[in-house]
Every structure is written in structure tokens, then in C-alpha cells.
Structure 1
Amino acid sequence: MRVSRQLIVMLLAILLAACASGGGLGVAPPAQDQAAVEDYSIGVDDIVQVSVWRNPELGITVPVRPDGKISVPLIGDVVAGNRTPAEVAADIEDKLSAFVRDPQVAVILTDLRSHEYLSRVRVTGAVRQPVSIPYRQGMTVLDAVLAAGGVNEFAAPDRSSLYRKTGEETTSYAVRLDKIINRGDLSTNFKVAPGDVITVPERAF
């Protein structure tokens, strides 16, 4: 028994050290990517983790069913589809309040599997094939433009723009595609977010 206890202590020490250093247990995404996940509308087959503070027995990790719902202990079915994690957490808290005093719920997306439901990134204008493609974490402007087959012979690539809607406001960012593609200047090779639109204008004749 003494050897087993020592082994357990050693394993716990290694685990705690890994957590403290972030060693392989998951690194927090950049702020922009995290915001994108927080605003993401949950889709069918996404894996959702529900945690209730001080009530671990109520925690679940389940895929979203085809009807867009998940089943939560005590309260039954909760609509998750087409809602953000924060909206689902608020709904669960409201329903759990009939059974648990001051419930504090966290809803985390552990696996985005509903590719057909993902918010998309669109590339329009003077590209070989305008496209609407599923967002992937870490995707950049260049990734999206290459998915559109690159720019065509009529393009003015250094006058390209990235449009991003936040709430009711739309912000544009200048993209120097020619410098990205032909000169390796990645200063405007921004990471994209769900819902972004990249437009490549035609050059003036």
C-alpha cells in the first residue's frame, strides 16, 4: 500500500505541474478566436460540456441531438441549437433554480463537429471561384483566398478588404493580398472569424 500511495502522489505532482505550465493540457486560444467561439451558434452534433458549480453530479458532456436539444439532469431537455454557449447556460441556470440554490452554470464547446452549421467565411469579388467556406480555428485571409482559387487576372489584390460584423457595426480592414502572396509580407494576413467577408476588387482600366 505504501508503494501505491507514493506512486499516486508522484502522478498527482506531475499532473499539477503540467496544469501549471499548460504542458499539453490545452492552451487558451487568442482573444479573437475565443470571442469567435463565445459568439458561435451551437449546431447539431457539436459536443457540449455542462458544468454546475458545487454540483458535479449535474455535469454532462453530450452531443447536440438532431432536434437541437440536450438532456440535462433534473430539468430534462434544453434547446442548444442556434444558441450561444452563454444563452444555453443562462437557460439552464433559470430552470435549475427550481432545484438548486443560486446555480452557476458553465457551457463549453469541446468539439465543433457541425461543419454544415458552422458560421462561414465568404470570399467574393475578383477571385477564380467565389466561395462560402466553413470557419476553422486558426484560418487566415490567405487560407480563405486560396480556397477560392486565388485572385484572377482582373484583381487589384492590394485593395482587398476584410469585413467583420460585431453587433450592429461592420468594421473593414485593409488587406494587401499582393504583398502577402508575392512578397511574403504577412502583416495583413489576419486571422478570420465566423461571418467574415473578404472582398477582392477589380483593378481600374
Structure 2
Amino acid sequence: MIQSPTWSQIQPTPSSSNSETYSSFTNPSYVLGPGDQVQIRVYDYEEYTGQKVILPDGTIALPLIGSLNAAGLTIEQLEQALTTRLQTLLVNPVVTVELSTTRPVVVTVAGEVRRPGPTELQASATEGGVPTLSKALNAAGGITQDADIQQVTINRQTANSGSRTITVNLWEAISSSNAESDVILLEGDSIYVPRLSADAQIDRRLLARSSFAPETIRVRVVGEVKNPGEIQVPPESTLSSAVAIAGGPTEDARLSRVAYIRLNEEGRVEQETIDLRNLTDNYQIQEGDVIIVPKRSDVSVIDFAGRLFGPLGAFLNLINGANSLFQSF
């Protein structure tokens, strides 16, 4: 469940209509269109009951009454239209309509997500129904560790070429019990996840364990481990857990001088040497990190890295994405 925004967070552009309410943005009535599948039930009349897909021309077909336009209607409006049409054939028909599967909805997700860009969403009733903000973030690969989920914005085009922007605090969804309903998305919505400020008070480990985070991230563990190379680890993993996922250290591993190397936001390479002899630590791994477990006989990590990767310059190129250097592992 996601914390809904307050009125002050809804900021209309000059061309937007001020009559739009808070609930109409966060929980808009779903408008049917070609490709949607609905379950129609008419009490005591099985011949009218069943799954119907809205055809490319926007219609559905039922026995005796023929084609009926469904595109552009809400579920409630389609129920009423069916009831009106069936009243010419049946006595007091009781009609219910449920949305079974939604047509693909394309939204754009930008900012601190793993796969920014246009994202296609589709959900069945068993998956929770219509496309939502949380589903869009998951479809975009999940948020990065630097995502500021307290200020996620959604921009929506409205009638008369206007637009509205709403700011949603997703942090409430994972840090408190007061979170409200997920935000329903419409075709063409644009979502932006900003970067977390340096002084932001957010528990990154809790963020990494949330449903908005990716299931795994890629890191490389090289040297004296049983299965060196690129591995997939949960985003809340520590250095020692990454070593364990890589098969654990070999008998020749020098765990007192394990190094991890990271390319920071400014493009500079950071290196730190960690004592992992107890196979425990409090360092949270990040996408693209490199962990080096040297041999007992090596004088230094740099000496070991030089033998692994050649000159230091080539090693730094590795940090910047020269994946071919790892193909020998």
C-alpha cells in the first residue's frame, strides 16, 4: 500500500482544470478499450455469461443483441449499457461486469530505476487488476540504491492538452503502517524517480529489501573464491554474503585483506580493504562493485589485481565496464 499525496502536492499547469479531484488522479475510473477482457454475468441466463474481449473496433458481441460498443466506457457504464439492451429481451436482467485482463498500457519511467524508458504494463485480475505505480517501478527493473522514493512524481496529460503532476511518497509504504492505496496509472503517464540527496534520512537497507527494489544486482567477485566471476546478489547483500554466493573462499584466501572497488557518482574509483576473517561485515553491496579476495602469498591487493587484470589502467577500465576482461573466469 502506498502513501497517497496531499492536496498541496497536486500541482496543475495553467491549462489544467481545477475541478479534478485528488481521488480522480490517484484512483481514476478505468476506461475500457480494445484488448481489454471482461467477465460478463447475467443472473439466471447462462447464455449471456462468459469472457468477452473488446474487439479492435471497440465492441463486444452477445447472443441476440449483437454488437455493443464498450470502448470508452467504465465498468459501471458498460453494466448499465448491457442492462438497457437486455431489458428489451429479458425481465429485470441483473448484469455484472468484471475486468479480467487489461490491455497493455505504456508509461514512461525515468530517473533512478534500473531500466528507464517506455514500459508496457499488463495485469490480470489475479495479479491485482489495473496497472499501478508499484508495478511500473518493478517493470522498470526496480529502483536504484540512490532513488529518492519520497518524491516520486507522476505527470498525466488531461483534456484540452493540459497536464497534472502529482508527488507520491513511497517511503511511507515501507516505513509505516499508515500507507494508503497504490496509484492507478493511465496510458501515457510519465513517472520520474529523483536522486536521493546526500543528507537524506533513509534507511538504505530497508529500501533495498522493499518491493520497489530489484530482485538482484550484479557484482563481480574475483580471486580466491570457488566460483569467481559475475554473480547476482540481493540488493541488501553485504561483502561477505557476496563472497559466500561466489562459493566461499578457497583455502589460500587472505580474508584479512579483501578489497572492494566501486565507481562513485563523480566517476572516481574508490577502494577499501576489509577484514572478512569472521565472514561478517556491515558494508552494503552496490551494482557494479568488484570484490577481490587475494592469495595469502600476495604482497598487496594491487599486486594481486595486477596479476589478474594486467596493468592498473586495464583494471580501471574493468570498473568502467570492460566486461571482456572477465571472460577468462
Which TM bucket (shorter chain)?
Answer: 0.5 to 0.7
Query: Which of residues 34, 38, 51 is equivalent to 1:61?
Result: 51
Look up the SS of the partner of 2:39 in the other structure: strand
| Change in CA separation of 1:152 and 1:78 when aligned onto 2, cut-off 3 Å | same
CA contact (8 A) 2:121 2:135 kept: no
Q: Deviations over 1:116-165 (max 9, x none)?
A: xx3x4542345562334314345775653354456679x65244325498
1:124 aligns with 110
Q: CA deviation at 1:171?
A: 5.7
Q: CA deviation at 1:71?
A: 1.2
Q: CA deviation at 1:203?
A: 5.8
CA contact (8 A) 2:133 2:183 kept: yes
Root mean square deviation of aligned Cα: 4.3
| Change in CA separation of 1:74 and 1:146 when aligned onto 2, cut-off 3 Å | closer
Query: Which of residues 155, 169, 174 is equivalent to 1:174?
Result: 169
Distance in structure 2 (CA, Å) of the matches to 1:131 and 1:75: 40
CA contact (8 A) 2:151 2:167 kept: no
> Which runs of no fewer than 5 residues in structure 2 stay unpaired?
1-25, 199-329
| Change in CA separation of 1:124 and 1:48 when aligned onto 2, cut-off 3 Å | same
Tell me whether 1:90 sits opposite 2:80 in the alignment: yes
Q: Which has the higher contact order (CA 8 A, sep 6+)?
A: 1
Distance in structure 1 (CA, Å) of the matches to 2:168 and 2:193: 12
CA contact (8 A) 2:109 2:190 kept: yes
Report the structure number with the largest CA radius of gyration.
Answer: 2
Distance in structure 2 (CA, Å) of the matches to 1:94 and 1:127: 47
Tell me whether 1:157 sits opposite 2:144 in the alignment: no
Look up the SS of the partner of 1:193 in the other structure: coil
CA contact (8 A) 1:121 1:135 kept: no
Distance in structure 2 (CA, Å) of the matches to 1:146 and 1:59: 35
| Higher helix fraction (1 or 2) | 1
Distance in structure 2 (CA, Å) of the matches to 1:62 and 1:199: 35
Q: CA deviation at 1:200?
A: 1.7
TM-score, length basis structure 2: 0.37
> Which runs of no fewer than 5 residues in structure 1 stay unpaired?
1-34
2:22 aligns with none
Distance in structure 2 (CA, Å) of the matches to 1:145 and 1:58: 38
Paired letter, 1:144? A
Q: CA deviation at 1:186?
A: 8.9
2:320 aligns with none
Q: Deviations over 1:38-91 (max 9, x none)?
A: 933333343332222233333343322222211122321101223222211111
Pairing 1:93-108 to 2, within 5 Å after superposition? 93-108=83-98
Identity of aligned residues (%): 27
Paired letter, 1:145? L
Tell me whether 1:134 sits opposite 2:106 in the alignment: no
2:204 aligns with none
Q: Deviations over 1:143-192 (max 9, x none)?
A: 53354456679x65244325498x99976421249x97xxxx6977x745
Distance in structure 1 (CA, Å) of the matches to 2:107 and 2:176: 19
Q: Deviations over 1:95-117 (max 9, x none)?
A: 2222223322111233x1632xx
The number of aligned residues is 159
Paired letter, 1:76? G
CA contact (8 A) 2:65 2:86 kept: yes
Paired letter, 2:136? A
TM-score, length basis structure 1: 0.54
Pairing 1:3-18 to 2, within 5 Å after superposition? none
Query: Which of residues 30, 34, 38 is equivalent to 1:40?
Result: 30
Q: Deviations over 1:8-43 (max 9, x none)?
A: xxxxxxxxxxxxxxxxxxxxxxxxxxx97x933333
CA contact (8 A) 2:33 2:71 kept: yes
